Amino acid sequence: METLGDDLFEVAESLAASIDAPVTIEDEHSTVLAYSADAQAVDDIRIDTILGRQVPGRYRTILAETGVFDRLRREPGVTYADLGVGSVTRAVVAVRTGDGALIGSIWAARSGRLGAVAEETLLAAAPRVARLIIAHRAWTDRHRRLRSRQARAILDGGPEAFDVASELGLTGPVTVALAAPVPGPDLPAGLAGALAIHLEARGVRALTAELDATVCTVLAVAEESATRVLRAFAGTARVRDHVIIAVGRQAPSSGEAHRSHQDAVRALRVLRRRSQPGAVATTREVLTDIVALQVEGLLQELGAITPLARLIDYDNANGSELVGSVRAFLDHGGDVTAAAADLHVHPNTLRNRLRRAVDRDVDVADSDTRLVLMIQFALSAMRPRSAD
């Protein structure tokens, strides 16, 4: 099998020619590592898999439910997978390390079962593919560490930041964004690579690296353009259910990228509190919540003397609805009629409640009191973080 080639794409091409079937090589997470360049389209599943560099989620579900993944983990030999009407049957071979750990798989798409010789060819190729996957991972790890060092150099600022950015072509204005999982602290496998591919395919110069349990991206575009392309990425099937993205303000040059990064860190904290998968937000869009989080610790220390705490205590003791009434009043900019309609009460009822709030030293006519209340309401609207 040494004639298969020296990289995964060469192996995929050689195998496809040998067994007369399109071939895909994937890792254990169903991420595409290589594929044969076929003249025929085969089916939509193969097209979607190659374009997305990942087996689409709905088909991974089918493979899991029909036991294909379990058979790959447990059984030697060739496994066959049927992905439904309009799809071509897949012949699958597990790729393992010397100690038996599953690190990938080889997929061949062709109607019906393969012949005995073709099956033997696939099985014989697995050890060669395993060695190439291991080599690929070693190269990927080195490249990942290099990108992380480059990202840190840019975010640290100074002359080195300019040197690294110039070497990477990140000249002119830059915008820093942070992508992170929600919920949970672990980065989804391949997130950095998927984002890098997405940006490259759209002609965006960027450095994407794993940094401090996030995927940090320095984009050589203005904030508006960065936000638009990142929203397109967040809307893809692979990430929209478990990733959030915070976008910092545009920096005039790579030498000030650290300021954009600081913005993104603050915005990411807000998004983690909100815990809304697929969300993409700029610093400007979550500015109120950023300010609220900055003073959260102080408000907690002040405890019972804060205006919201006094309203809550009164409601708990009397079964009243001062908190909701004051909040509606503030949400409607002090318009009693609109707030009362929202609460489904008479305006005079709302006025009476606001007077009872004054009796608790919470005067909503006072601008300072309103400011503190609005910050506290902003904090209460953010759901607790599931992970830091």
If you average pLDDT over residues 135-146, what whole number do you get? Answer: 88
pLDDT for 326 equals 94
Q: Is the full-model pTM beyond 0.75? A: no
pLDDT for 251 equals 93
pLDDT for 245 equals 96
Closest by Cα among 214, 37, 363, 198 to 206: 198
Half-sphere exposure of 179 (CA within 13 A, CB side): 28
Contacts 24+ apart (CB under 8 A), 361-370: 361/307, 361/310, 362/307, 362/310, 362/311, 362/322, 362/326, 364/326, 364/329, 364/330, 364/334, 369/307, 370/330
pLDDT over 70 for what percent of the chain? 94
Half-sphere exposure of 77 (CA within 13 A, CB side): 8
Residue-wise pLDDT tens digits, 230-249: 999 998 866 778 899 999 99
C-alpha–C-alpha distance, residues 151 and 211, integer Å: 8
Residue 307 has pLDDT above 60, yes or no: yes
Sign of the C-alpha dihedral, residues 152, 154, 156, 162? positive
pLDDT for 386 equals 42
Going by the DSSP 8-state scheme, the letter that residue 182 receives in this structure is: S
pLDDT for 205 equals 94
What radius of gyration do the chain's Cα atoms show? Answer: 28
Strands 23-27 and 243-247: unpaired
Higher pLDDT, 247 or 212: 247
pLDDT for 335 equals 92
Residue-wise pLDDT tens digits, 160-203: 888 899 889 898 899 999 999 887 667 777 788 889 988 988 99
pLDDT for 330 equals 93
pLDDT band (50, 70, 90) for residue 345? very high
Backbone angles phi, psi at 40, to 5 degrees: -95, 155
Residue 387 has pLDDT above 60, yes or no: no
If you average pLDDT over residues 134-153, what whole number do you get? Answer: 89
Sign of the C-alpha dihedral, residues 286, 288, 290, 296? negative
The answer to whether the CB of 165 falls within 8 A of the CB of 254 is yes
If you average pLDDT over residues 204-231, what whole number do you get? Answer: 94
Specify whether the backbone of 169 is left (phi greater than 0), alpha (psi in -120 to 50) or beta. Answer: left
If you average pLDDT over residues 81-101, what whole number do you get? Answer: 86
Burial class of residue 152, CB neighbours in 10 A (0-12, 13-18, 19+): middle
The answer to whether the CB of 70 falls within 8 A of the CB of 53 is no
Higher pLDDT, 380 or 270: 270
